[in-house]
Every structure is written in C-alpha cells, then in structure tokens.
Amino acid sequence: PGVVTVDTKPFEGQKPGTSGLRKKVKVFAQEHYTENFIQSILNANKDSLVGCTLVVGGDGRYLVKEVVDKIIKISAANGVARLLVGQNGILSTPAVSYLIRKYKTLGGIILSASHNPGGIDNDFGIKFNCANGGPAPDATTNQIYDITTTIKQYKVVPEINCDISKIGVSNFDVHGSKFTVEVIDSVNDYVAYMKEIFDFRQIKALIQGTPQRKPFNVLIDAMSGVTGPYVKRIFIDELGAKESNVRRIVPLEDFGGAHPDPNLTYAADLVNAVKGGDYDLGAAFDGDGDRNMIIGRNAFFVTPSDSLAVLANNLHHIPYFQRSGVQGYARSMPTAAAVDRVAAATGKEMFEVPTGWKYFGNLMDAGRLSLCGEESFGTGSDHVREKDGMWAALAWLSVIAATSQSVEDILKSHWAQFGRNYFTRYDYEECASNPCNEMMQYLEKTITSPGFVGSSHSSGDKTYVVKLADNFSYMDPIDQSVAMKQGLRIIFEDGSRIVLRLSGTGSSGATVRLYIDSYEAENVLGDAQVMLKPLIDVALKISQLQKYTGREAPTVIT
C-alpha cells in the first residue's frame, strides 16, 4: 500500500482543554477535521515518530471505531512502526496509561470525552498521552495547537484496512517498511496489574463472605461506559461477586442516553438503589473509567476530597505501597484540604497543583508523589499517570477489608482524628460564554483591588475576613514550568476558601464551577449544605454570579 498526501486547511479552535480536544461529534465529523488533529499530534512528536509504537483506544462512544481506523491509516503513512489497539477500540483511560508504561511506547491516543454524554448529537474527544503514560503537558498541547493553526497537508495509507474486532497481529508493507497493528485484549494487562497492586484474596473474602463474616454487598455501576468489561472481569470473574452486584456493564455508544458522570445527580440511579437496597458500598465510574464515586450503606456519600484523605491515611493496607513506600501527596487547588492534614500528621510532602491530571505527572516521575486526587471524583496513585476509578474502588475495598469498618465509620473516625473539611461544588453548566467571561474579569478585578485583602464579608451570624485573594498560578517544582490563571481564589483568615473557575472540558457554552471549602475541628457531623450556606452566600454576593449567569440555582451540586 502507498502513502497519499491530502491537502487540507486549518480549522479554528483545535485547542486542547483541561483534558484533550472535546467537541460535538458533528464537529469531529467534518471532512479533514479529525485527520488534521491526528496529524498535528504526530507532527508534534516528529523527532521520535519514525519506528515508534503508540497505544490507541477509547471509551466506546460513538465515533471511536471510525477514528481508530483514521489513526491506523495516518500512523502508517507517517512512519509509526506499530500500534497497540484495544479490541473494538475499547481501552479505559487508566488502562492506556498503564499500557504505555508497560510496553514503553512513545505515547498513546485516547478517544474519549470522559464524563460528557455520547452519541451522534453529543461529544467526542481526542487526547494525547506521553511516554510516562500521563496526559501531555501544556507545552506539548500548545505545540499541537500551533500546528493545527498552520496545517496544510496530512498523510494517509487508504488501503490499510484492519479488523479491530479480532485480537491478533496484522502486518502491512508501507513502501518497504513494516507497519504492525496489534489488536489486544482490552482488559488483560490491566487486570494482571491490579492483581499485583492489591490483595485479591483478601478482597474476595470480603465480597464473598467467610464463615465468620457475611458477604460485603457491593453495587458497582459502570454507567454503560468503558469500565463494563473491567468490572465484569475483576468483580465477577476474579472477586466472585454476583451479577446482582454490578450494573450497566455493557459499553454503549451513547451510554444509554445517560450522562456518564459519577456524581449525586447523574448517578442518582445508583444512589437510589443503594439507599433502598441491602448494600454496603456503591461505586460508579465515568465514561472513560478514570473517575469514581464511592457511597456507603444507605448511600452515605464520600466527597472525593475526603476519599483522598482517607486513602492517604490507609495506604499501608495496600500491598503496592507496602513494597514501594509512600512518598508525598497532592491535590488540585479547588480540592478541599483534608489530605493536607494527613500529610502534616504523617510528615509527608504535600503539593497543590492546578486542575487537571497532567500537573501530577512530573512529581510522580520524580518520586515525590504517591497519591493524589481532585474534587471532581478523581483519585489515583503513581501506579499509572492517570486517575483511576477501578483502582480507587479496589483501594476502598482493601481498606474496608483490613479495618473491618463500614464506609461511614471509616469517615467518622477520620473526622474525629483530623477534623473535617466541609466541601461543596456548584456547577452552572452550559451558560452563555460572554457573560461568564465578564463575570470572571469583574471578580478578578474586585478581589485583586487594594483593600480587598482584609475586608470582612458577613452572612447570617458568620463573618469572614479575607486573608489572600488571587488568580492561582503554579510553578512546577520539577521543570519550573508555570501555569497562570488557574482559578480565582479567596482565602479567609480561618482557612475557609471560595474558588471560582470556568470549566475546560465542555464542548459548548461555559460551565462555571464554584468550590467552597471550610474546616471544622470539632463540629464534624453536620450537613455540608447547611454548614457552608453562609460561605456560599458570600461567594454569590461577591461574584454576582446569579446576575451574570442568569441562573438562580446550579445544575449540579456535589
């Protein structure tokens, strides 16, 4: 087969956001649009491209298979030697990260819009991960974007047709060079790795029960996303759970019409099932398998910020950390600071990075970070370079098996020991872009004006005095790269925080995220919405959010 060069023109707006390029399917379906972006990814790697191996897979949403086919044809034409492709294009995001590391490939291309809805009228996405298995850093995504603005041609080998529904190796001759497509089982390598990290015998005994202990009844919801086959293999085949312990484990191109985001709003089905049923733990994962939600008996909700802190305090129960030890911890800036208290108590390094998993990678590569998380239902460790929903569920089950405590008791004893960071996030999804940008400008100006630091803000019987206010910026301690304008934050004298930022993962309009974090040493059993009401009022007042967005209430409350 021969290489064909196709003339093309740049498309506007191919700038990767928090986690890759995400647009409506209709945008990706335009002639040359997807090809341009793939060619730009390859061009950004041009120095190491010839002879390299790449991993390719996605979350099973609409368009994944077609785009895998395009990647095969374009890679062949650009001198890539070998592709490792998940069967039917299926690979979870953490699995791609692992495969890149295990097979020491140049990187990987992930086809997913994560928690965004799928199907012909919804979202698609493409993300490039580097040789460490992590999302490409800003320098690389900026380079990819620059290339998209000047691209004139892309190359393809149109005659290469490869059946990705069958596991096996296909070799092609491209102008005398060998090009190989290896279709691999989507779950094998990843499952083997989880069995190294965790004690599956112990978790199995928990789930199946022993003569002394009744079975620990889980309900695991794959939300019709990519984790279905992983859930089936791990929970049913390996850990002996029953069919009734899992739900929505067949990946669907449109996620069954649902929004595959594991939170209290979009995973309400799971919450209700756990509330009404005889379950000890519920877990849900997002479309591409990197997010997790954990709830206990009667749907006792674990905020991701608390989940991170609890795991930090219990890593010694997990064989992987018994072997490798625990280095530092990290969280994204808007994430509540619960884990900071565990770090302080255990004498570990603690890092605060901007939103997005790409900011954790350097710290992990440098051996300074073992466990990190985000308030957006992301938890993970240095076992890969992505957040990992399945890993988080297995980590929780390990802690439960080792401590014989319920989810709720684990949280309550954690709060008794460390105090509690009450946290909530309000999302105002798909607002008009211009007024949201104006709001952010207005707010930045307000909070950076002289006199704002030191000013008092009251609601009810609470008064907060501003200690610090800025637009968060971060310098990576390893490579000294700087990320600016990562979110407006107001920090008060008592340590309470208000954070506002615009989402970088949406495909249309603007989504405003308002984060509230407030610490209580003693009063730890309150209702978060009640406890945080005064701070929320202050935040709405200072930002004039309701005026700018025209929204009385958020779309999602976490």
558 binds ligand VG1 (CB under 6 A): no
- Both tokens of residue 425? 């996030």
- Sign of the Cα pseudo-torsion (220, 226, 229, 233, in order): negative
Q: Which does 313 bind (CB under 5 to 8 A by kind): Co ion, ligand VG1, none?
A: none
Query: Is there binding between residue 133 and ligand VG1 (CB under 6 A)?
Result: no
Given the residues 19, 112, 114, 398, select the one marked as catalytic: 114
Task: Say if CB 30 and CB 11 are below 8 A apart.
Answer: yes
Is there a contact between 300 and 106 (Cβ–Cβ < 8 Å)?
no
CB-closest chain residue to Co ion = 114
3-state secondary structure of 301: strand
Distance CA 119, CA 114 (A): 13
Does 503 bind ligand VG1 (CB under 6 A)? Our answer is: yes
Hey, what are 447's tokens? 């909070």
When binding is defined by CB under 5 A, the residue of 114, 129, 381, 398 that contacts Co ion is 114
Residue 538, SS3 per DSSP: helix
Q: How many residues bind Co ion (CB under 5 A)?
A: 5
* Shortest separation between residue 83's beta carbon and ligand VG1, angstroms: 22
115 binds ligand VG1 (CB under 6 A): yes
Which of 261, 290, 306, 476 binds Co ion (CB under 5 A)? It is 290
Residue nearest to ligand VG1 (CB): 114
Gap between the Cα atoms of 210 and 91, Å rounded: 34
> Would you call 114 a catalytic residue per the annotation?
yes
Count interface residues toward ligand VG1 (CB under 6 A).
18
Locus of tokens 């909700």: 301
Q: Which of 290, 340, 476, 517 binds ligand VG1 (CB under 6 A)?
A: 290
Which residue type does 418 have?
F
Q: How far apart are alpha carbons 447 and 470 in whole angstroms?
A: 7
Of 520, 519, 471, 513, whose CA–CA distance to 497 is shortest? 519
Is-contact 428 549, C-beta < 8 A? Answer: yes
How many C-beta atoms lie closer than 10 Å to residue 475's C-beta? Answer: 11
* Beta carbons within 10 angstroms of residue 466's beta carbon: 19
Residue 127: CB minimum distance to ligand VG1, A: 8
Nearer to ligand VG1, 194 or 512 (CB): 512
Cα separation, 558 vs 377, in Å, equals 10
For 388, the token pair is 């990992």
- Give the binding range for ligand VG1 (CB under 6 A) out of 160-168, 336-344, 405-413, 501-509: 501-509
Is residue 59 within the footprint of ligand VG1 (CB under 6 A)? no
What's the closest the beta carbon of residue 108 comes to ligand VG1, in angstroms?
14
148 lines the binding site for ligand VG1 (CB under 6 A): no
Beta strand 350-353 pairing with 328-332? parallel
- Binding-site member from 59, 123, 280, 286 for ligand VG1 (CB under 6 A): 286
**Between 114 and 511, CB nearer to Co ion:** 114
Q: Which does 75 bind (CB under 5 to 8 A by kind): ligand VG1, Co ion, none?
A: none
Out of 286, 340, 375, 382, point to the residue binding Co ion (CB under 5 A).
286
CB of 376 to ligand VG1, least distance (A): 4
Q: Which is nearer to Co ion, 290 or 476 (CB)?
A: 290
Please identify, using beta-carbon distances, which residue of 123 and 340 lies nearer to ligand VG1. Answer: 123
Q: Does 376 bind ligand VG1 (CB under 6 A)?
A: yes
Q: Which of 199, 288, 374, 388 binds Co ion (CB under 5 A)?
A: 288
CB of 69 to ligand VG1, least distance (A): 23
Is 123 a binder of Co ion (CB under 5 A)?
no
What are the tokens at 87? Answer: 């069967």
**According to the binding rule CB under 6 A, does residue 114 interact with ligand VG1?**
yes
Q: Of 514, 300, 298, 294, which Cα lies nearest the Cα of 426?
A: 514
Asked if 476 touches Co ion (CB under 5 A), the answer is no
Binders in 255-284 for ligand VG1, by CB under 6 A: none
Of the candidates 42, 236, 234, the one whose C-alpha atom is nearest the C-alpha of residue 126 is: 42
Alpha helices, DSSP H, located in 87-130: 93-102
> Which residue among 1, 119, 435, 504 contacts ligand VG1 (CB under 6 A)?
504
Q: Which residues contact 347 (CB under 8 A, 6 or more apart)?
A: none
DSSP classification of residue 376: T
> Smallest gap, in angstroms, from Cβ of residue 420 to ligand VG1?
22
- Is 378 an interacting residue with respect to ligand VG1 (CB under 6 A)? yes
Strand partners, 293: 284
Please check whether residue 330 is in contact with residue 387, taking contact to mean a CB–CB distance below 8 angstroms: no
Question: One symbol per residue from 190 to 219: x for binding Co ion (CB under 5 A), - otherwise; what is it?
Answer: ------------------------------
> Minimal distance in Å, beta carbon 243 to ligand VG1?
27
Is the Cβ–Cβ distance between 155 and 4 less than 8 Å? yes
Which region, left, alpha or beta, applies to residue 377 given φ > 0 means left and ψ of -120 to 50 means alpha? left
* Residue number with CB closer to Co ion (28 or 357): 357
- Number of Cβ within a 10 Å radius of residue 2: 9
Determine the Cα–Cα distance for residues 421 and 450; give it in Å rounded to an integer. Answer: 30
Name the residues that contact Co ion, by CB under 5 A: 114, 286, 288, 290-291
- Note the residues at the interface with ligand VG1 (CB under 6 A): 18-19, 114-115, 286, 290-291, 332, 355-357, 374, 376, 378, 503-505, 513
Active site residues: 114
